[in-house]
Amino acid sequence: MALLDTHALCKEYRLSSGILIRALEEVSLAVERGSITLLTGPSGSGKTTLLALLGALDRPTRGTVRLEGVELTRCSDVELARVRRRMGFVFQDYALIPNLTAEENITYPLIPRRVPPAERRQRALELLQRFGMENRLRVRAGSLSGGEQQRVAVARALAGDPDVLLADEPTSSLDAETADFVCAVFQEFHHAGKTAILVSHDPRVVALATAVYSLRNGQLVPPPTAAPTASA
Amino acid sequence: MDARGVRLLLVLLMLVGVTAGVLFFEARQESVRQTQAEEFQRLVGGMGFGPASDWEDCPFSFDPRLGGSCGLNSGPLPGGSCFCPRHAESIFSYPALQPQHYPAQEGSSQ
Amino acid sequence: MLFLDIVHTGLASVLLHRLRSLVCVLALLAILLPYLTALGLSRGLEAEAESSARLGADLYVAGNQFGRMVPLPPDAEARVKQLEGVTRVVPRVVGEVFLGKDHQRAVLLGLPPSQFPAWSSTVEGELPRSGSVNELVIGTTLAQRLNLKIGSMIPPFYQNEQGERLSRVVGLFKANAPLWQANLILTTLDTAQAIFAQPAGVATDLLVWCRPGYEEAVARSITWLPSLGDQTGRGPVRFQVTTRQDLLVLLPQGLMHREGLFNLHFVLVFIIGILVFLVVSGLGLGERRREIAILKAMGWQTDQLLLRGVVESVALSLMGACLAFLLAWVWLRLLNGYGIAGVVLAGVGVMPDFQVPFRLAPIPLLLGFVLAFVIVGTGTVYSSWRAAIAPPRDAMR
Ligand SMILES: Nc1ncnc2c1ncn2[C@@H]1O[C@H](COP(=O)(O)OP(=O)(O)OP(=O)(O)O)[C@@H](O)[C@H]1O
Ligand SMILES: [Mg+2]
């Protein structure tokens, strides 16, 4: 059984002007355990929307998302929180809490995971050291540069030791060297037998993929391939 | 524990502590006030009751023992308990004294 | 452990949203400071009033004609004295006089000098005696406004066909005596009778002390004494009695402060309360919504986010209530009710010349805290709940 799968997933937005936007239409896919699944497609094709649905951050208009066979739309609020605690999310806009320090941004998600305070700080320190940011520990996230924020966002997603990593353009603001390093971290995550779902146009990230889904206008194009395409 | 929460906790504890200290101090002051009040009231035989330090136009608001009600209070003001200017500014108002009525036969027996 | 950690983030979030916290606490101060100050004054006054009733005489007897209080003729004292259960009767004269070129109002009180102790801790100087000059003990406001000191002489301020005398200040009331001393002049009974140009023996009222348990019986007997004679050619004068109990029932019961200033204050609370609610739930709403959505996306549960909001509200309310209390104390104790005492106490200037009576008790503070929490808590928790029940992605944009 696939770790995550969707069936006829639709997401529509109705604007206040009454216009209906179909962000996703009839998307059915399966994410295998231990895979690195890549979502590609042009801007506005629905990648972020799909990722949010897979990560239990949004409700579909129609269709289902299942994690290990359990339908997420049927889950209670508490169960959804439990699902989210198994995941690590890197947002396209980083979504750090600007008034918290880099360290706090990493430790706050660990609180509902019942990680003791000392270990929370230890993990934050280790992760920020790995990403070369140990001297930014006590800096407000809002005053970090874009690339720094992105690294904190990746560190935050990994801090909870997730089963599934969902990353939306995780290298978009990074220089080549740092992007390589982040890719190495993803690779290591993959080797630990965990599942990653990545949205990216970065060839370095694309090269990691074990499965690729392409989206266009909210629809999957053409039949999904099982292995990386020539773009690698 | 992050420094922010601890700092605020300290500020809160300090505030509560100082407040408790002031409450304690005021409770002790109460006995001082009590002695002064006792000395004064014994000297003058009970004087003063209301929120006024003199009896301009309204002895009642100074001490109802000097006038059982306020003449200005019965003014035709809708819903008005505040017709008398001395009462209007009051934080401590009280109704007019109720004259006691004692049954005649009991009283006349003495 | 989890609970404590969340409590901790709640405390931290007070500092995280500084502007909101500041506005919140300031608004709470605007509500609670006038409330605690006015209630403190009112409670202090109530305590003094109660002392006045409890420590005064058992009964106050005055004359009554046409339903109005009138002075008692000389034979009244003897008639009350002979009643069973009466232990002591003291005649007194109370009236209003005007002093100085600004016609400063004063309450003049005359008591038989035999009633005075040798010395009183509420009076600086001496107590008045009968003699060739009028000896007066003066209240603090009078002394201040008329620039009187112990030993000051006051030229005649009254008219008497038998001739007026000089008056000398022999004592001053101390500033920490009850506020009614401020415009009081204490003197001997005969001096007071002379100042009001009344014959000896006339009293405005009689202070009556009874054997314990006899108060009501004596009050009844006095009411049914035959009317006093037609001395002035204006018909008989009846007796009128005010008991201690009559006074005590005038004291407000418990927290029922619905009068005067408090009505105004409740309107104020209502208006500012709504404003605070709007500020609390509106200020930085977008930012807070996003923050809650991010935490939710990171695995926080709705109840945990609400607990965080409650802790934040408790901290803000506690801060607002404690600060309001401390400021009220500073205002009343250290600044002696500067400004506000003149507003709520009749006959008092901006800067009172006596120690303003007040009493800051824990209960109003507690009520203030509860009120603050209701306002801040509903605002915070409601907006947190709104953000927390939405899917994180909706709330994040
Ligand atoms: N909350 C929303 N309300 C209205 N329209 C939305 C909303 N979220 C997304 N959309 C629309 O849905 C479509 C897909 O958006 P999405 O963010 O998933 O695209 P994307 O593939 O991630 O694009 P990009 O590569 O630029 O990030 C877009 O047309 C977008 O305008
Ligand atoms: Mg996107």
Which range, of B41-50, C201-210, C245-254, averages the lowest pLDDT? Answer: C245-254
- Nearest chain C residue (CA) to B103: C220
Q: Where are the domains of chain B?
A: 1-47, 49-93
- B5 to chain A, any CB pair closer than 8 A? The answer is no
Shared domain check, C366 and C274: yes
**What's at A209, amino acid-wise?**
A
Q: Give mean pLDDT, residues C206-216.
A: 93
Mean pLDDT, chain C, rounded, equals 87
φ/ψ (deg, to 5) at B51: -85, 50
Same domain, C88 and C178: yes
* Closest to A202 measured CA to CA, from A165, A231, A164: A231
What pLDDT does C232 receive? Answer: 60
Among B68-77, C9-18, C99-108, C226-235, the range scoring the smallest mean pLDDT is B68-77
C230 & C261 share domain? no
CA of A31 to the centre of ligand 1 (A): 22
Task: Please list every residue in chain C whose beta carbon sits closer than 8 Å to the beta carbon of residue A117.
Answer: 5
Residues of chain A neighbouring C302 (CB-CB closer than 8 A): 77, 81
Kind of pairing between the strands at A36-40 and A211-216: parallel
Q: Which ligand is nearest to the CA of A42?
A: 1
| DSSP strands (E only) in A32-135 | 36-40, 62-67, 70-71, 87-90
In this structure, the answer to whether residues C190 and C116 fall within a common structural domain is: yes
Alpha-carbon distance of C261 to C252, in angstroms, equals: 14
pLDDT of residue B69 exceeding 50: yes
- Domain boundary residue among C218, C248, C278? C248
E runs forming strands in C147-199: 153-154, 167-173, 184-188
Structure tokens at B52: 């006024």
Query: Which has more confidence, C368 or C269?
Result: C368
Confidence band, pLDDT 50/70/90 cuts, at residue B89: low
**Nearest-angstrom CA–CA distance, B92 and C345:** 9
A92 within ligand 1 shell (Cβ under 6 A): yes
In which domain, by residue range, is C126 found?
A: 58-248
Chain C closest-CA separation from residue B83 CA (Å)? 11
Q: What pLDDT score does A218 carry?
A: 92
pLDDT at C255: 44
Contact C309, C373 (CB under 8 A): no
Residues C44 and C65 in one domain: no
- C250: pLDDT confidence band, cut at 50, 70 and 90? confident
- Please state, as a whole number, how many other Cβ atoms lie within 10 Å of the Cβ of residue A160: 22
- For A26, what's the count of Cα atoms within 13 Å in the CB-facing half-sphere? 3
What's the Cα-to-Cα distance from B58 to each of A155, B27, C11, C65, rounded to whole Å?
Answer: 77, 33, 53, 19
Query: What are the strands of the beta sheet with A70-71, ordered from one edge?
Result: A20-31, A4-14, A62-67, A70-71
Quickly state the pLDDT bin for C253 (edges 50, 70, 90): low
* Chain-chain contact of B53 with C94 (C-beta, under 8 angstroms): no
The residue among C258 and C394 whose pLDDT is bigger is: C394
**DSSP track, B44-100:** HTS---SSBSS-TT-HHHH-GGG-SS-GGGGS--TT-S--SHHHHT-SS--PPPPPP
Do C71 and C134 have their domain in common?
Answer: yes
Asked if C120 and B110 come within 8 Å (Cβ–Cβ), the reply is no
The helix (run of H) or strand (run of E) holding residue C191 is helix C189-195
Distance (Å) of CA A75 to CA C307, C325, C388 = 22, 48, 16
Q: Number of structural domains, chain C?
A: 2
Task: Determine whether the shortest distance from the Cβ of A49 to ligand 1 is under 6 A.
Answer: yes
| A104 vs B contacts (CB less than 8 Å) | 2
Residue C198 tokens, joined = 């009344």
pLDDT at C281 over 80: no
Taking only Cα atoms into account, the Rg of chain B, rounded to an integer number of angstroms, comes to 24
The C residues from 189 to 228 touching B (CB cutoff 8 Å) are: 204-205, 207, 217, 219-221, 223-224
Q: Are residues C97 and C77 in the same domain?
A: yes
Q: Give the H/E segment covering residue C145.
A: helix C140-146
Q: Residue B75 has what pLDDT?
A: 46
Asked whether the predicted pLDDT for residue C262 surpasses 70, the reply is no
* Burial class of residue A173 in the structure, from the number of CB atoms within 10 Å of its CB (0-12 exposed, 13-18 middle, 19+ buried): middle
Domain boundary among C229, C248, C267: C248
Residue C70 and residue C167 share a domain: yes
Give the number of the ligand closest to the Cα of residue A24. Answer: 1
DSSP 3-state of C205: strand
| Interval C90-96 mean pLDDT | 94
CB of residue A47 inside a 6 A radius of ligand 1: yes
DSSP state of A192: T
Q: How many residues does chain B have?
A: 110
Q: Are residues C176 and C289 in the same domain?
A: no
User: How far lies C389's CA from each of C9, C170, C305, in Å?
Assistant: 20, 77, 10
The whole-number average pLDDT for the span B27-51 is 91
Using the atom order of ligand 1, give the atom closest to the CA of residue A45: 21
- pLDDT per residue as tens digits for the range C310-337: 999 999 999 999 999 999 999 999 999 9
SS3 for A67? strand
Which CB contacts under 8 angstroms, 24+ apart, belong to A20-27? A22/A217, A22/A218, A23/A49, A23/A218, A24/A49, A24/A50, A24/A53, A24/A60, A24/A218, A24/A219, A25/A217, A25/A218, A25/A219, A26/A63, A26/A219, A27/A63, A27/A215, A27/A218, A27/A219, A27/A220
Q: What is the pLDDT of residue B79?
A: 45
Q: Does C324 share its domain with C275?
A: yes
Q: Which residue of B has its CA nearest to C180?
A: B53
Q: SS3 for C277?
A: helix
Name residues of chain A where pLDDT drops below 70: 223-232
Q: Is the pLDDT of residue C29 over 70?
A: yes
Q: Is A75 on the interface with C (CB under 8 A)?
A: no
Q: Which chains touch A (3+ CB pairs under 8 A)?
A: B, C
What pLDDT was estimated at residue B110? 39
Q: E-assigned strands of A140-216? A: 164-168, 195-199, 211-216
Mean pLDDT lowest among B78-82, C148-152, C362-366 = B78-82
Work out whether strand C153-154 and strand C167-173 pair parallel, antiparallel, or are unpaired: antiparallel
Residue A21 CB–ligand 1 contact under 6 Å:
yes
Coil, strand or helix: which one is A46?
Answer: coil
Q: What's the CA gap between A221 and C319, in Å, rounded?
A: 59
Ligand 1 pocket member A101 (CB < 6 A)? no
Which spans in C208-337 are helix H?
215-223, 244-248, 260-282, 285-297, 302-329
What residues have CB less than 8 Å from A90, skipping those under 6 apart?
Answer: A150, A153, A154, A156, A157, A165, A166, A167, A168, A170
Please tell me whether residue C302 adopts helix, strand or coil conformation: helix
Cut 0.90: pTM above it: no
Confidence check: pLDDT of C112 > 60:
yes
Q: Which of A221-230, B97-106, C315-324, C339-348 has the lowest average pLDDT?
A: A221-230
Is any ligand 1 atom within 6 A of the Cβ of residue A16? no
Q: Are A99 and C5 in contact (CB < 8 Å)?
A: no
Contact assessment for residue B19 and residue C324, using Cβ atoms and an 8 Å cutoff: no
Identify the pLDDT of residue C367.
86
- Dump pLDDT digits (tens) for C53-92: 999 999 999 988 887 788 888 888 999 999 999 999 999 9
**Beta strands C167-173 and C134-138: pairing type?**
parallel
Q: Ligand 1, closest atom to CA A52?
A: 18
Last residue of a domain, one of C215, C248, C281: C248
Helix (H) or strand (E) holding C97: strand C86-99
How high is the pLDDT of residue C338? 92
Residues C358 and C268 in one domain: yes
The predicted pLDDT at position B101 comes to 65
Burial class for A196, CB neighbours closer than 10 Å (0-12, 13-18, 19+): buried
**Domain identity same for C26 and C143:** no
Contact B1 A117 (CB under 8 A): yes
With pLDDT > 90 as the criterion, what percentage of chain B qualifies?
Answer: 30
Q: B57-71, C74-88, C243-257, C376-390: which has the minimum mean pLDDT?
A: C243-257
Q: Identify the H or E element spanning C100.
A: none
**Tens digits of residue pLDDT in C292-312:** 999 999 999 999 999 999 999
Name the closest residue on chain B to residue C329, using Cα atoms.
Answer: B22
pLDDT exceeds cutoff 50 at B28: yes
Q: What's the confidence (pLDDT) of residue C380? A: 85
Cα of A87 from ligand 1 centre, angstroms: 22
